[in-house]
């Protein structure tokens, strides 16, 4: 068996020195434990935060111990009640080709409902993040303009489509012309701005949003968000979901920036963690699944093949290699 451990804590962007492949011997199952073989791993931006030695809503990874993330896999052997060989399960699994984990850390999945990897994307954490962040905090109303940054990623591509379902004008921000074309032609976005090539981002957003911005779903932070905030309408709402532009910075930029506009335009900005909505996950998954079945919500993922691709997939999130959910198929 192989595992990938955190070799050292990265400063700035992680690199090959961050990850180390190791052979590992599995211990025999104790009562309550399950042997799982992952088939799909999710890599997610929050995992970068866990590489730092910093207190957050999830504890940091330990140097010398395997990294871990959302995964789907098959039960190979079970000493836990309710699990049998062949069951499809999901949970947070170590980056290993097989792992022994407590049964109570796993959830059984119904393989007939959706392809297994969907439980890491549209029917999993990113889908629920889009659903609750947009609807509960953004509260978009028909006819309003919704802007979403990171709009071609796992969360953003779902946010844009849910905003369309609510009857809004939807404007995305993404980092390549291919992503711009895809979002407009396949995912129903009304306009998409390429933040890497727009000569004046504030102006480009103003042109894409002739009636101003009522909801800004923020996945990235930094200068992209500065430009959107300059275009906000009175009483705009900002679900503060992610700040990926800052995750690899060694010093967070400080200064007055554009907060005065939040004040004078009576803007509501609220950070959230998807687990705040844990007791409503059932409702979220049911609605997302219904929209997928009705053809109102389309889904796409970028899949890298092979266990050894996990580090590359993780780093690819920070260079925009993915369209939709980034997945590693083992």
Judged by the rule CB under 6 A, the positions of this chain that interact with ligand NDP are 44-46, 125-126, 129, 150, 152-156, 174-176, 179, 219-220, 222, 224, 241-245, 272-274, 317-318, 320, 322, 326
3-class SS letters over the chain: CEEEEECCCCCCCCCHHHEEEEECCCCCCCCCEEEEEEEEEECCCHHHHHCCCCCCCCCCCCCCCECEEEEEEEEEEECCCCCCCCCEEEEEEECECCEEEEHHHCEECCCCCCCHHHHHCCCCHHHHHHHHHHHHHHCCCCCCEEEEECCCEHHHHHHHHHHHHCCCEEEEEECCHHHHHHHHHHCCCCEEEECCCCCCHHHHHHHHCCCCEEEEEECCCHHHHHHHHCCEEEEEEEEECCCHHHCCCCCCCCCCCCHHHHHHCCCEEEECCHHHHHHHHHHHHHHHHHHHHCCCCCCCEEEEECHHHHHHHHHHCCCCCCCEEEEEEC
- 75/152 with CB nearer ligand NDP: 152
Q: How far is the CB of 51 from ligand NDP (least distance, A)?
A: 13
Nearer to ligand NDP, 75 or 170 (CB): 170
* CB-based closest residue to ligand NDP: 153
User: From the CB of 83, what's the least distance to ligand NDP, in Å?
Assistant: 27
Smallest distance, Å, CB 147 to ligand NDP?
13
Please identify, using beta-carbon distances, which residue of 196 and 296 lies nearer to ligand NDP: 196
* Least distance (Å) between residue 186 CB and ligand NDP: 16
Nearer to ligand NDP, 166 or 322 (CB): 322
- Smallest distance, ligand NDP to C-beta of residue 7, A: 23
Closer residue to ligand NDP, CB minimum distance, 97 or 287: 287
């Amino acid at each position: 068996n192989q595992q990938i451990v955190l070799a050292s804590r990265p400063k700035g962007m992680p690199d090959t020195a961050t990850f180390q492949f190791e052979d590992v011997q599995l211990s025999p199952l104790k009562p309550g434990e399950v042997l799982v073989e992952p088939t799909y791993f999710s890599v997610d931006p929050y995992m970068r935060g866990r590489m730092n030695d910093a207190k957050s809503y999830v504890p940091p990874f330990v140097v010398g111990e395997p990294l871990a993330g959302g995964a789907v896999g098959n039960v190979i052997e079970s000493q836990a009640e309710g699990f049998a060989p062949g069951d499809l399960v999901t949970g947070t699994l170590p980056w290993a080709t097989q792992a022994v984990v407590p049964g109570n850390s796993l959830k059984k999945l119904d393989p007939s409902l959706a392809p297994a990897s969907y439980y890491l994307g549209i029917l999993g954490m990113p889908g629920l993040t889009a659903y609750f962040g947009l609807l509960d905090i953004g509260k978009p109303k028909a006819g309003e303009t919704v802007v979403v940054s990171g709009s071609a990623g796992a969360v953003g591509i779902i946010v844009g489509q849910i905003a369309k379902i609510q009857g809004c004008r939807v404007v995305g921000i993404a980092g390549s012309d291919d992503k711009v074309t895809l979002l407009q032609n396949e995912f129903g976005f009304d306009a998409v701005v390429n933040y890497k090539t727009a000569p004046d981002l504030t102006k480009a957003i103003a042109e894409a949003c002739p009636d101003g911005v009522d909801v800004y779903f923020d996945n990235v932070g930094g200068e992209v968000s500065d430009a959107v905030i300059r275009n906000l309408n009175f009483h705009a709402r900002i679900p503060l979901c992610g700040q990926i532009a800052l995750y690899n910075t060694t010093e967070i930029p400080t200064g007055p920036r554009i907060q005065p506009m939040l004040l004078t335009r009576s803007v509501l900005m609220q950070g959230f963690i998807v687990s705040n909505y844990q007791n409503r996950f059932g409702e979220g998954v049911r609605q997302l699944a219904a929209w997928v079945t009705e053809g109102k919500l389309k889904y796409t993922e970028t899949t890298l093949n092979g266990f050894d691709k996990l580090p590359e997939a993780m780093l690819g999130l920070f260079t925009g290699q993915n369209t939709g959910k980034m997945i590693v198929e083992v």
